[in-house]
C-alpha cells in the first residue's frame, strides 16, 4: 500500500482548495497536525484527514451546489409486500413509470396455454331456437388458450364516499380459444373463440385486510359466429373483493341485459351460465405457485345447474415468465358454444406469470 508523505498531503490540500473553495484552506492547521501526529501510520492519518474534511462547511456547500440531489436509499429498509388484490387493482395507487407506455397493461384473468381432453364432445351444438343440422367432426383432445389484460383509464383518489377511498375506471379484454390442433384431417380448425371486453369501475376501501374492493362492471361476450353457431350476451354485475393473508375471494352477481326475442341467439343462457360466481385464490408469499377455484351457479333450487374450474400453476418454472399449469373443469358453460352442454375436461400446459 502506498504511503502518503507530507508532499502528498500538500498536493491533496491544494486540490481541495482549488476544487472546493478558499474556506477549505482555513483549517490547514488541522491537516498539518494530522500529518505530524501520524507520520508513519497511514491508516490513522487518513482517518484524521477524513475527520478534518467532515468539519469543512465548504464541502457541504459544494455538494449542494455542484451535485444533483440523490434519493437516500436505505439498505435495510423493509418494504410492504403487495397482496394479490392490491397488485391486480392497484389499490395502493402506485404510479406507473410512464402513463403513455404499454406498461400500463397488466393481467386481468389468468393467461395460459394448455392441451385438454373432454369426456363429452359437443359435435352438434344447439340452443332453444336453433341447432346445427350436420354434426361436426371433432376430436376430444384439443388445445385451449386464454389471453387477458386490462388497463386503468382514470383514477380518483383521497375520496370519502361511505368508506370508499379510491375510484378507478378499467378497460379489460379477455379472449379464449379452443383449437382442434390435432384434427389434421379437417385442417386443424378453431372450434370456438370467445371475445369478452369489459368496462369496470373499481372502488377501493383502503382496508389492509377483509373487504378491499367493490367492482361495478359492464360486460359483453360473444363468439363472433353466424347462426346456427352464434352465441352472445351482455350483462352488468356487482363484484366484491375480500382478502386475508394469502387467500383472496372475488364474488359477483350479474343481470343479463334483455335482448329482442327475434334476435336473441340463446334466450336460456342464464339458466345454464348462472347468475353469479365466486373465485377463491391462494398464493404463498414467495409467489412460486397459485391455486384458484371458480364456482358458478344459476341459483335455481328446483333445477340447479353450475360449473366448477380448478387451476393450479405449479411450482415448476418454465423459463422466467411461465409455470406448469393444470386445469380441471366440470359442468355447463366452459365456452359459449358449450353453454348448455355438460362435460368434464382435464388439461395440462403452461400459464404465464401475472406479475
| Domains of the chain, each with CATH number or no CATH | 6-66 (no CATH), 97-352 (2.40.230.10)
Which residue did the predictor score with more confidence, 36 or 59?
36
| HEC-encoded secondary structure of the chain | CCCCCHHHHHHHHHHHHHHCCHHHHCCHHHHHHHHHHCCCCHHHHHHHHHHHHHCCHHHHHHHHHHCCCCCCCCCCCCCCCCCHHHHHHCCCCCCCCCCCCHHHCEECCCCEEEEEEECCCCCCCECCCCECCCCCCCCCEEEEEEEEEEEEEEEECCCCECCECEEEEEEEEEEEEEECCCCHHHCCCEEEEEEEEEEEEEEECCCCCEEEEEEEEEEEEECCCCCCCCCEEEEEEEEEEEEECCEEEEEEEEEECCCCCCCCCCCCHHHHHCCEEEEEEECCCCCCCEEEEEEEECCCCCCCCEEEEEEEEEEEEECCCEEEEEEEEEEECCCCCCCCCEEEEEEEEEEECCC
**Predicted pLDDT at 69:** 40
Where is average pLDDT lowest: 64-68, 195-199, 217-221, 231-235?
Answer: 64-68
- Which residues are annotated as catalytic? 220, 222
Cell of 47: 482517518
pLDDT at 103: 59
Q: Which residues pair with 167 in a beta bridge?
A: 156, 203
Over residues 318-334, the mean pLDDT reads 94
pLDDT of residue 335: 97
The pLDDT tens digits for 23-45 are 444 455 666 677 767 776 776 77
pLDDT tens digits, residue range 264-299? 999 999 999 999 999 999 999 888 899 999 999 999
Amino acid at each position: 500500500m502506498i504511503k502518503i508523505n507530507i508532499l502528498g498531503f500538500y498536493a491533496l490540500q491544494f486540490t481541495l482548495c482549488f476544487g472546493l473553495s478558499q474556506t477549505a484552506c482555513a483549517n490547514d492547521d488541522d491537516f498539518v497536525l494530522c500529518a505530524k501526529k501520524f507520520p508513519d501510520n497511514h491508516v490513522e492519518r487518513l482517518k484524521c484527514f477524513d475527520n478534518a474534511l467532515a468539519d469543512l462547511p465548504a464541502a457541504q456547500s459544494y455538494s449542494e451546489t455542484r451535485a444533483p440531489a440523490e434519493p437516500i436509499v436505505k439498505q435495510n429498509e423493509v418494504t410492504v409486500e403487495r397482496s394479490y388484490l392490491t397488485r391486480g387493482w392497484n389499490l395502493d395507487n402506485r404510479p406507473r413509470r410512464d402513463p403513455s407506455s404499454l406498461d400500463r397493461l397488466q393481467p386481468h384473468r389468468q393467461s395460459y396455454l394448455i392441451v385438454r381432453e373432454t369426456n363429452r364432445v359437443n359435435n352438434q351444438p344447439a340452443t332453444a331456437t336453433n341447432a346445427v343440422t350436420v354434426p361436426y367432426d371433432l376430436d376430444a383432445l384439443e388445445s385451449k388458450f386464454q389471453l387477458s389484460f386490462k388497463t386503468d383509464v382514470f383514477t380518483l383518489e383521497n375520496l370519502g364516499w361511505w368508506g370508499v377511498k379510491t375510484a378507478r375506471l378499467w378497460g379489460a379484454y379477455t379472449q379464449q380459444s379452443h383449437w382442434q390442433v390435432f384434427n389434421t384431417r379437417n385442417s386443424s380448425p378453431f372450434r370456438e373463440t370467445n371475445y369478452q371486453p369489459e368496462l369496470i369501475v373499481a372502488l377501493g376501501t383502503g382496508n389492509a385486510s377483509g373487504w378491499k374492493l367493490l367492482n361495478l362492471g359492464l360486460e359483453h361476450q360473444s363468439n363472433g359466429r353466424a347462426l346456427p353457431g352464434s352465441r352472445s350476451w351482455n350483462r352488468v354485475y356487482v363484484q366484491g373483493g375480500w382478502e386475508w393473508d394469502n387467500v383472496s375471494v372475488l364474488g359477483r352477481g350479474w343481470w343479463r341485459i334483455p335482448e329482442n326475442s327475434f334476435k336473441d341467439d340463446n334466450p336460456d343462457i342464464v339458466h345454464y351460465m348462472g347468475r353469479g360466481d365466486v373465485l377463491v385464490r391462494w398464493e404463498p408469499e414467495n409467489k412460486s405457485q397459485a391455486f384458484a377455484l371458480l364456482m358458478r351457479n344459476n341459483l335455481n333450487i328446483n333445477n340447479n345447474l353450475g360449473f366448477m374450474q380448478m387451476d393450479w400453476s405449479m411450482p415448476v418454472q418454465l423459463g422466467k415468465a411461465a409455470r406448469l399449469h393444470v386445469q380441471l373443469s366440470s359442468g355447463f358453460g366452459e365456452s359459449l358454444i358449450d353453454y348448455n352442454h355438460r362435460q368434464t375436461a382435464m388439461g395440462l400446459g403452461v400459464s404465464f406469470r401475472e406479475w
